Amino acid sequence: MKTLYRYIKPVLWPMLLGLLLKFIAAMLDLTIPYFLETIIDKAAPTGEIRQILFWGLVMLFCSILAVVTNIRANRMAIINSSKATKALRHDLFAKISLLSARKTDEFTVSSLVSRLTADSYNVNNMLVRVQRIGVRAPFLLIGGIVITLTMDPILTLVLVAMLPIIAIVVYFVTKYSVPIYTRCQLILDRLVRTVQENATGVRIIKALGKDASERKRFDKINSALADEDKKAGIIMAITNPVATIVLNLGLTLVVIVGARRVNSGLTEPGTIIAFLSYFTIILNAMLSITRIFVICSKGAASAARIEGVLLAEDDMPILKEGTDSESNNSNSYFYNFKKSNSVELEYDPIPARIEFQNVTFKYNRRNFSTDPQSIDIDYIENNLTNISFKLERGQTLGIIGATGSGKSTIINLLIRFYDPDEGIVRIDGRDIRSIPREELCKKFGIAFQNDFIMANSIFENINFGRNLTEEQINRAIILAQAKEMIDDLPGGTSYRLTARGTNISGGQKQRMLIARAAASEPEILILDDSSSALDYRTDANLRKALHQSLPNTTTIIIAQRISSIMNADLILVLDEGRIIGRGKHSELLRSCHEYKMISDTQMGGAE
């Protein structure tokens, strides 16, 4: 909740002004029964109509002023809460955007989505309700008790004796409801993930006729969420009936005791009537407070989840050039096992464009014990093990291997989605951990096999907010062998794509993604299995165009087809995260049995 206060602080003074207006409105509401008592016990017995009308007009004026003040305070509460929530949501989105891939894996995408949507809504609802009801209700409760004490202390004591019972119920209900609401949010994360998966895979689900099983899977999670909501609802539902019963019991006792006191001449009838009005005010205030506890329980649980993201440590800081890589590595406990691989950031006289030096990495390292003594490094299966290679400016690297061999993992480390557990990745002689994120991103043009396509025109999808010129876009379209395809579409580059590009074919989609990657003429171009849907002729023309149009660009091609990488300056053959072959195509045919088998299968052994 300390984190939440940072976002309340900028609107604290307007909030305090709104609370002041709420206080004024509450005081005006509390004066009305007092004026009613004055009319009944003082003005009416005199028979003076003017005095009765005067106090009646005062009551009317106070009522109107209280309504106007309440409306103004409520509007301010909504505005202030919206500003605070907007800033909170903005920073949460920014933090999510900057989270490392490893942190994103830990939180999960579905959980981050629900924190940004459902949780931020709960926080906003809490802020609004606290300002509108959470302040007014205590004012009315305390003010009503204070005024009734001045009117008749005996009757007030009857009322006050009921309040501790309600307070105890509210305490225990809140204590047990907060964990339930936290569990509800966790189940909501699973629900969001299920919906995302179904929306993404709707075509394959329909193609395989798995609609019924997916509905069952959704119903199972939906039922679990409904059950937890029901538990929370049952617990929270206890407060209102208990509060109503206790306070109505108190009201009955007040009427009985008050009637006897009137008969004894100890209290005036007007006092009893005013007291009943105050009692109603106090009753409603107490019920409002119990409702606030429900809302605050949800809001507190959501605020804690949001805070968990905002306070998440940066596990991929930017290192200062020249610092010791071992002491600054975010995964430093792995270095306790193999210090022989620790190296310092240093620069070669003529550094390679890309260099991997003894790189070892495992995705789910976070699942292991954080106690280094409890881990036997020899039994940890890595996604990459001791990967080393160099690539000069303008050269092309081809990477081939079976599914799960670590091809895309190399790319993930190169663009710093993750940091290696051991070893160093360098670009132009610099450890990528010392390169600011914005500078690093500008070096790359990347096309993945199943890349992101937004619901917008082809032009905007290629431009992707980089303010590229029309000449650059057209040149990239020609390079990607996409000109004829785009010219055949209605409107050409103005043709509007659907989300995920469902209104164009797989080959058309890949050519557009390659055009996006090459449009900015990057220093390093990465094609991660992005030509798998292209025919051999288009693929060959694409590779020829890349060589001619981007001679100074270092290219990395991940492919399953030998023909896509056979002309590369360096080819790496991966198997279970290890390099089992390296060299040019002709060399690998002689030196790498696995590569030759792939070549024989795809090309009949031709060089």
Question: Is residue 237 located within the same domain as residue 358?
Answer: no
The answer as to whether 550 is a domain residue is: yes
Query: Which domain-ending residue is among 492, 519, 546?
Result: 519
The upper half-sphere exposure of residue 281, i.e. CA atoms within 13 Å in the direction of its Cβ, equals: 28
The answer as to whether 269 is a domain residue is: yes
Q: What pLDDT does residue 322 have?
A: 58
Q: What pLDDT does residue 257 have?
A: 81
Question: Which helix (DSSP H) or strand (DSSP E) does residue 167 occupy?
Answer: helix 163-200
Question: Is residue 39 located within the same domain as residue 142?
Answer: yes
Residue type, 234: I
DSSP notation for 70-120 = HHHHHHHHHHHHHHHHHHHHHHHHHHHHHS-HHHHHHH-HHHHHHIIIIIH
Question: Is residue 360 located within the same domain as residue 464?
Answer: no
Low-confidence ranges of the chain (pLDDT < 50): 324-347, 367-379
Domain that holds residue 430: 343-367+380-443+522-607
Crossing angle (nearest 10°) for helices 211-237 and 163-200: 170
Q: Which residue has the tokens 């407060």?
A: 239
The answer as to whether 200 is a domain residue is: no
| Per-residue model confidence as pLDDT tens digits over 280-313 | 788 778 778 777 877 887 888 888 889 999 998 8
Question: Is residue 605 located within the same domain as residue 560?
Answer: yes
Question: Is residue 158 located within the same domain as residue 242?
Answer: yes
The answer as to whether 417 is a domain residue is: yes
Q: What pLDDT does residue 65 have?
A: 92
The answer as to whether 201 is a domain residue is: no
Number of domains present in the structure of the chain: 3
The answer as to whether 336 is a domain residue is: no
Q: What pLDDT does residue 350 have?
A: 64
| Beta strand extents in 275-369 (DSSP E only) | 354-361
Question: Is residue 356 located within the same domain as residue 425?
Answer: yes
Question: Is residue 15 located within the same domain as residue 27?
Answer: yes
The answer as to whether 32 is a domain residue is: yes
Distance CA 100, CA 279 (A): 57
Q: What pLDDT does residue 605 have?
A: 56
Question: Is residue 464 located within the same domain as residue 437?
Answer: no
Distance CA 218, CA 226 (A): 12
Query: Which domain-ending residue is among 519, 538, 558?
Result: 519
Question: Is residue 495 located within the same domain as residue 347?
Answer: no
Q: What is the CATH number of the domain that holds 433?
A: 3.40.50.300
Distance CA 230, CA 309 (A): 28
Question: Is residue 515 located within the same domain as residue 539?
Answer: no
Residue 229 sits at the vertex; the CA angle it makes with 223 and 232, to the nearest 5 degrees, is 145
Does residue 324 contact residue 351 with C-beta atoms inside 8 Å? no
The answer as to whether 203 is a domain residue is: no
Q: What is the CATH number of the domain that holds 95?
A: 1.20.1560.10
What pTM was computed for the model? 0.71
Q: How far is CA 102 from CA 99, 371, 411, in A?
A: 8, 19, 15
Question: Is residue 438 located within the same domain as residue 471?
Answer: no
Question: Is residue 492 located within the same domain as residue 509?
Answer: yes
Q: What pLDDT does residue 324 have?
A: 45
Q: Considering Cα of 76, then 78, then 84, then 86, what sign does the dihedral take?
A: negative
